[in-house]
Amino acid sequence: MNNTIKNYSIFIILLAGLVIAIIMAVGFGAVRIPAAEFIDILFRGIQTEHSTILLQIRLPRVLLCLVIGAGLAAVGTVMQGIFKNPLVDSYTLGMSSGAALGAVISIVTGISFSIGGVSTTGVFAFIGAVSTLFLVYNLAKRKNAMSVNSLLLAGVAVSYFLSAIISFLMLLNQDNLQHIVFWTMGSLSLTSWSKVVISYIIIIPGILALLFYARELNILTMGDESAQYLGIDVEKLKRVLLVICCIIVGAVVSVSGTIGFLGLVAPHIIRLIAGSDNKKVIPYSALLGAVLLIASDTVGRTIIQPVEIPVGVMTSIMGGPFFIFLLRKQR
Amino acid sequence: MINQITLKELSFGYDDSLGLVLKNISLDFPKSGFTSIVGPNGSGKSTLLKLISGVLKSRQGSIQINGIDNMAIHKKEAAKIMSVVPQNTALEFDYKVMDVVLMGRYPYISRLRGETPKDREIAIENMKYTNTYHFRERSFNQLSGGERQRVILAQALTQQPKILLLDEPISHLDLQHQIEIMSLIKKLSIDQQLTVIAVLHDLNIAAAYSDYIVMMKDGEINSQGTPVEALNVQNIKNVFNIDVEVEVSVYTNKPYIYAITRNEIKKNHVKVHVICGGGSGSEIISNLYNTGFQVSAGVLSIGDLDWKISKDLDLKLAEDIPFTRISEDAYEANKRLAEAADFIVLTDLYIGKANLCNLRMLLENELENKTIFILGDETFEQRDITEGAATGFYNRIKSKKNTRIVSRDEMYSILNKAGASNE
């Protein structure tokens, strides 16, 4: 019973945190919008001088932050579960860089088509994420055995390599520089409602699908072999989960560029307070990821106005030291 | 008898260039009962277990579980029939003991409904059985090695299997926990009629707990049978290339294996003949043998303790059937051995009518100049159960010029000097 109460309180605190973060994020900026006015505009439909800023700029941005943060955190949780290591996430395995490279290639080549309403950039980002993951996984794998160290090393190496290619492409395409920088640093400044809608359509079902496999993910912590003994088709499970992760990461990167360390930090904090059960860690991490990303973005765009710090820079500034802390603690 | 697991002409290699790890193995595991697979490192025993559990796929041959090919069984169904306890388990993310045990219910839990009270009941029952229930709320990674293995065993039992596979389940545990876990598994095999197949390193543990032993070498089955049948000196020498002594307990009929280091014995050319019987010569025979002397003994009754040791050490021996007077043939054989020896030892054996002529033999002319060591002179009267008939012989032996009444230590020290100068 005690556990149930604890669970509910964690959930309620996270939800309250999310609401507060949204209100703050909408309110703060070049123009301050008080909470009362926010409610007037949103719920009573009253037009004020800030209506456009709120409805066309800040609200979509905050909502996008929410779903991206949640998506990255859920993906981080699941990838840590798959690879049984708390240092793994979409960023450390180079998936984000791969997705960014995919996006950059679509920009510089100018290829443009649309598959089922998903933008070219999104498709390229997804392909980039999948192929990078595939590459890193196979680089790290040796004779059916894979050590997590080699996985991280391969991830870092591939990440560097891909970043170098992105830089090279930037050098050759000075015209698109601004656009490319956006992908590499991770930014939410070019938000539109259509991006918000597409992200929700892809990411929310993605998170729910991951949640669907929470029990299997728990068992995976016993080790791949033991998980098989307990009745799980481990290779199939990993493939399914990694594809879902790639779709989410592709969707995230195609609207926001690469945002680092969020997927690493959020699940870790949740595990410290709520334990390791993925039935809780996935949804709670998603909530925390949303809160953290909204907060980082708000700080990033208000702290040294009028300059806006890209959100990817903000999360890396905060996440980097945390990563080092985890690394040292692991030894 | 129904066989639950049947291996037919099974071969397996991890890599074509590295050759086969398992070669043409055919084997029936009996339904219920404890089978151990033993053998040196790299003999393929863990690989065999992984093939049975379905983690590895066989290239040639078949593995059938209750008549069905093991690869044709759906993973979840397989997990209901068979569970596996690995060497040791550590969790990267920590879970409570209760949660770990409940994972054993996975094959039974429907995705949408989640675990039922019945699932919890089964988990709790098995935790009580393995004595882990009292720490159900503790986190798994904080447990000791022995506690963890018990939790994993509880998890495996929560799968309600018919077959339990164990891959060196105790190799990371101390002696107390080894015995604890093995006793528990043995109990299970009896209480729940489980078929237990365990890969074990320790031959004595395997001997003590198994009903059946399969001994492997270089990917092949070298020998199999009950512990007494499989674990004999010759088989162990063939498989492990070590010299051992095997003692079968008269209480349990289980063999116990001692490693011996006979290679280090420095042989000498001194021959010692020991007149003994009833266990009076055992220690002397093995001590002299293990310090390099060429030992013979006689006349010994077949089945006598001294006789058994002499046989085990493959000594030259004068023997006769028990409870009868020593025959002429045995007497002569004994005499020949005594003649050939450099020293004769008369141990503190009991002298009765049956073995009286062992004393008489020492007075033969041919042995006139032999050195004879007499042990236990002070107790001779108590050991004479011939109502005085032996005393005459005994006193005449004592009065011979080369007879010496000595303690064991004195005897060893004289013999060792002789041995050292005659290597």
**Who wins on pLDDT, B250 or B265?**
B250
Cβ within 8 Å, pair B100-A275: no
Contact map slice: B 269-308 vs A, CB within 8 A: none
Asked whether residue A145 carries a pLDDT value surpassing 60, the answer given is: no
Q: Name the residue in chain A with its Cα closest to that of B114.
A: A215
Give B266→chain A minimum CA distance, Å: 48
pLDDT on residue A143: 56
Domains and CATH numbers, chain B: 3-259 (3.40.50.300), 265-420 (3.40.1190.20)
* Angle subtended at Cα A36 by Cα A32 and Cα A38, rounded to the nearest 5 degrees: 60
Residue A115: pLDDT band (50, 70, 90) is low
> What mean pLDDT value characterizes chain B?
87
Q: Could you write out the three-class secondary structure of chain B?
A: CCEEEEEEEEEECCCHHHCCCEEEEEEEEECCEEEEEECCCCCCHHHHHHHHHCCCCCCEEEEEECCEEHHHCCHHHHHHHEEEECCCCCCCCCCEHHHHHHHHHHHHCCCCCCCCHHHHHHHHHHHHHCCCHHHCCCEHHHCCHHHHHHHHHHHHHHCCCCEEEEECCCCCCCHHHHHHHHHHHHHHHHHCCCEEEEECCCHHHHHHHCCEEEEEECCEEEEEECHHHHCCHHHHHHHHCCCEEEEECCCCCCEEEEECCHHHCCCCCCEEEEECCCCCCHHHHHHHHHCCCEEEEEEEECCCHHHHHHHHCCCEEEEECCCCCCCHHHHHHHHHHHHHCCEEEECCCCECCCCCHHHHHCCCHHHCCCEEEEECHHHHHHHECCCCHHHHHHHHHHCCCCEEEECHHHHHHHHHHHHHCCC
How far apart CA B202 and CA B179 sit, in angstroms, is 12
**Arithmetic mean of pLDDT, A290-303:** 89
The DSSP element (H or E) to which A115 belongs, if any, is strand A114-115
Residues of chain B neighbouring A79 (CB-CB closer than 8 A): none
How far apart CA B143 and CA B161 sit, in angstroms, is 25
Domain A2-330, what architecture?
A: Orthogonal Bundle (1.10)
Give B91→chain A minimum CA distance, Å: 6
pLDDT on residue B192: 84
Lowest mean pLDDT among A24-38, A93-107, B288-302: A24-38
**Arithmetic mean of pLDDT, B103-114:** 86
Cβ within 8 Å, pair A226-B86: yes
Residues of chain A neighbouring B77 (CB-CB closer than 8 A): 231
H-type alpha helices, A213-274: 214-220, 224-229, 234-256, 262-274
- What backbone torsions phi and psi does residue B29 show, to the nearest 5 degrees? -95, 125
Residues of chain A neighbouring B15 (CB-CB closer than 8 A): 143
- Tell me which residue in A85, A230, A277 faces B99 most closely, judged by beta carbons: A277
CB within 8 Å of B358: residues ≥ 6 apart:
B275, B277, B298, B299, B326, B334, B349, B351
Give B159→chain A minimum CA distance, Å: 8
Asked whether residue B18 carries a pLDDT value surpassing 80, the answer given is: no
Question: Is the link from the previous residue into A306 a cis peptide, with omega within 30 of 0?
Answer: yes
Identity (one letter) of the amino acid at B158? T
Give B112→chain A minimum CA distance, Å: 9
**Who wins on pLDDT, A221 or B59?**
A221
- The size of chain A, in residues, is 331
pLDDT on residue A308: 81
Closest residue by Cα to residue B85 from B168, B186, B147, B161: B168
**Who wins on pLDDT, B229 or A53?**
B229
Residue B1: pLDDT band (50, 70, 90) is very low
Lowest mean pLDDT among A108-122, A165-179, A247-261, B32-46: A108-122
> What mean pLDDT value characterizes chain A?
84
Residues of chain B neighbouring A225 (CB-CB closer than 8 A): 55, 84, 86
Residues of chain B neighbouring A275 (CB-CB closer than 8 A): 94-96
Identity (one letter) of the amino acid at A222? M
**Arithmetic mean of pLDDT, A139-166:** 79
Q: Residues A199-212: pLDDT tens digits? A: 899 999 999 999 99
Asked whether residue B135 carries a pLDDT value surpassing 70, the answer given is: yes
Complex-level ipTM: 0.82
Cβ within 8 Å, pair A275-B89: no
Asked whether residue A117 carries a pLDDT value surpassing 60, the answer given is: no
- Tell me which residue in A86, A225, A230 faces B103 most closely, judged by beta carbons: A230
Query: What count of Cα atoms within 13 Å lies in the side-chain half-sphere of residue B30?
Result: 16
Q: Name the residue in chain A with its Cα closest to that of B107.
A: A231
Residue B324: pLDDT band (50, 70, 90) is confident
Asked whether residue B5 carries a pLDDT value surpassing 80, the answer given is: yes
- Tell me which residue in A85, A230, A233 faces B92 most closely, judged by beta carbons: A85
Q: Residues B136-166: pLDDT tens digits? A: 999 998 998 888 988 999 999 999 998 999 9
- Tell me which residue in A221, A232, A271 faces B75 most closely, judged by beta carbons: A232
CA distances B366 to A119, B372, B402, Å, are 113, 13, 13
Instruction: Decide: B201 and B171 in contact? Cβ < 8 Å.
Output: yes
Give A75→chain B minimum CA distance, Å: 16
The encoded tokens of residue B32 equal 């219920």
CB within 8 Å of A215: residues ≥ 6 apart:
A278, A279, B106, B109, B111
Lowest mean pLDDT among A64-78, A156-170, B241-255, B330-344: B241-255
Cβ within 8 Å, pair B93-A276: yes
- Tell me which residue in B78, B84, B106 faces A219 most closely, judged by beta carbons: B106
Asked whether residue B423 carries a pLDDT value surpassing 80, the answer given is: no
The encoded tokens of residue B210 equal 């198994």
**Arithmetic mean of pLDDT, B354-363:** 88
Domain residue extents for chain A: 2-330
Residue A129: pLDDT band (50, 70, 90) is confident
**Arithmetic mean of pLDDT, A53-71:** 88
pLDDT on residue B84: 93
Give A133→chain B minimum CA distance, Å: 22
Please say whether the dihedral angle defined by the alpha carbons of residues B67, B68, B71 and B73, taken in this order, is positive or negative. Answer: negative
Cβ within 8 Å, pair A231-B104: no
Q: Scanning the structure block, which residue is given the tokens 């290597």?
A: B423
pLDDT on residue B275: 93
Q: Residues A14-55: pLDDT tens digits? A: 999 999 998 888 888 777 777 777 778 877 777 777 777 778
Q: Residues B364-376: pLDDT tens digits? A: 888 888 899 999 8
Across the A:B interface, residue pairs with CB atoms under 8 Å apart total 74
CB within 8 Å of B379: residues ≥ 6 apart:
B348
Q: Name the residue in chain A with its Cα closest to that of B98.
A: A277
- Tell me which residue in A84, A86, A231 faces B78 most closely, judged by beta carbons: A231
How far apart CA A2 and CA B201 sit, in angstroms, is 45
**Arithmetic mean of pLDDT, A3-13:** 86
Cβ within 8 Å, pair B94-A276: yes
Contact map slice: B 20-59 vs A, CB within 8 A: 53-55
Instruction: Decide: B161 and B85 in contact? Cβ < 8 Å.
Output: no
**DSSP-based three-state secondary structure for A250:** helix
CA distances A82 to A86, A223, A287, A328, B225, Å, are 10, 9, 21, 22, 43
Asked whether residue B2 carries a pLDDT value surpassing 60, the answer given is: no
Residue B113: pLDDT band (50, 70, 90) is confident
**Arithmetic mean of pLDDT, A314-321:** 82
CB within 8 Å of B245: residues ≥ 6 apart:
B233, B257, B258, B260, B312
**DSSP-based three-state secondary structure for A146:** strand
Give A161→chain B minimum CA distance, Å: 30
Cβ within 8 Å, pair A84-B80: no
How far apart CA A319 and CA A189 sit, in angstroms, is 21
pLDDT on residue B209: 92
* Radius of gyration from C-alpha coordinates of chain B: 30
pLDDT on residue B213: 92
**Who wins on pLDDT, B181 or A144?**
B181
Lowest mean pLDDT among A13-22, A267-276, B119-128: A267-276
CB within 8 Å of A204: residues ≥ 6 apart:
A67
pLDDT above 70 coverage of chain B, percent: 98
